[in-house]
Amino acid sequence: MQKDISLIGIGQTKFGEWWGKSLFTLVEEAVDSAIQSAPCSALDIDFIIVANMLAESVNGQAHLGAVASSLLPHHPPALRVEAACASGSIAVHTACALLESGRAETVLVVGAEKMTDASGDEITTALMGAADSEKDAPCGLTFPGIFGLVARRYMHEYGLTREQLNLVSARHHCNALKNPFAQFRQEMTPEQIGASAIVADPLRLLDCSPVSDGAAACILSTKHRSPVRIAASQTSTDTLSITDRPVLTSFAATKDAVQRALDEADVSTSDIAHVELHDCFSIAAVIALEDLGFAEPGEGIRWYERNEAMSVNASGGLKACGHPVAATGIKQIIDVSKQLQASGKHFGLAHNFGGVGATCCVHILQHSPHAYA
């Protein structure tokens, strides 16, 4: 990073089905809680970046920069970014660029989504906006359908069994028991995962991240300090349509973003103590572990068969925390920062993608407990 950027404030709503709360209320709750946790006042915020994917189609609200800016007494300049399910991490990436350029010193980033106001059909159609509307959607594909194809191909190539895949969501649900912000805090056995309803063969209900409402916010600063800093912020893109990809079982944007992030932070995979990865569907977690360099191709499932030192989705991941799409990338960074502060370890990684891995963003956080004591 060209400047020392500290993560000085974090806040989120519980993710879930919030019938009684508007998109505005969710944004406000997350922002208030991030400001309260920061060592500065709201007036120190000189820019806001809002992440959102679906507000026009689901909530009838655009212009979300102004929505967030209206919450602060001095109405700082604000803009909104959209990169499908990677919107949150792209918003943090954009904030880092503003801070590195010197145009801002303290930036509030907030991601929010209110998805449950729409019917299942409406939300499935709206989410397909993250794929290719000329090549993927006309084939009748949905996101569960696309990842069903990916899972089937992965099983064909590497011999992954349904019983093995059950371990992924079972672990993430178990981890969420300790997370008060998670949408689903029930233990799920591998057998329950494997017996849940088929959504897009071979994927079942409990392989899928749910449809969720929620917001997450963080404050980044080059002026105020905290023990957690952004050591790397990298993004990479791939073809929008899966029909243009040479392989279905690996996402090139993840591989590229992580390599550049590791280089930027000057660390290797063995330095990473905590990972929050993008498990929109169980198979995506297996592939992410491989693409991020923590496992060889075909071996990602081993992380769920053993107890490894590095924690993976200790928050519960998208599967159990919920996936209000544009809030997720920010919430992952919040979780990694909490995990580093609790464990006293030095490096953690957040991996967030949009579409079928078409946009990927990787952040590496560094925790230096005594740096600012």
**Site for ligand COA, rule CB under 6 A:** 85, 120, 124, 127, 143-144, 184, 199, 205-206, 208-211, 280, 323
Q: Which residues make Cβ contacts (< 8 Å) with residue 106, sequence separation at least 6?
A: 8, 40, 44, 45, 46, 47, 219, 220, 221, 222, 223, 224
Residue 12 identity (one-letter amino acid): Q
C-beta closer to ligand COA: residue 76 or 88: 88
Spatial contact of 335 and 316, defined as CB atoms under 8 Å apart: no
Cβ of residue 99: shortest distance to ligand COA, in angstroms?
Answer: 29
C-beta closer to ligand COA: residue 33 or 209: 209
Cβ of residue 124: shortest distance to ligand COA, in angstroms?
Answer: 6
Cβ of residue 213: shortest distance to ligand COA, in angstroms?
Answer: 13
> Considering only CA atoms, which of 261, 237, 218 is closest in space to residue 364?
261
Catalytic residue among 85, 96, 218, 280, which?
85
Distance CA 46, CA 365 (A): 23
C-beta closer to ligand COA: residue 30 or 211: 211
**321 flagged as catalytic:** no
Cβ of residue 281: shortest distance to ligand COA, in angstroms?
Answer: 7
Q: Measure Cα distances from 255 to 89, 182, 297, 333 in Å.
A: 16, 28, 12, 19
How many Å separate Cα 44 from the centre of its chain? 27
Distance CA 125, CA 228 (A): 38
**93 flagged as catalytic:** no
C-beta closer to ligand COA: residue 57 or 124: 124
Catalytic residue among 93, 323, 351, 363, which?
323
C-beta closer to ligand COA: residue 267 or 327: 327
Quickly count: other Cβ atoms within 10 Å of residue 237's Cβ: 18
Distance CA 109, CA 324 (A): 15
Cβ of residue 171: shortest distance to ligand COA, in angstroms?
Answer: 14
Residues belonging to the active site: 85, 323
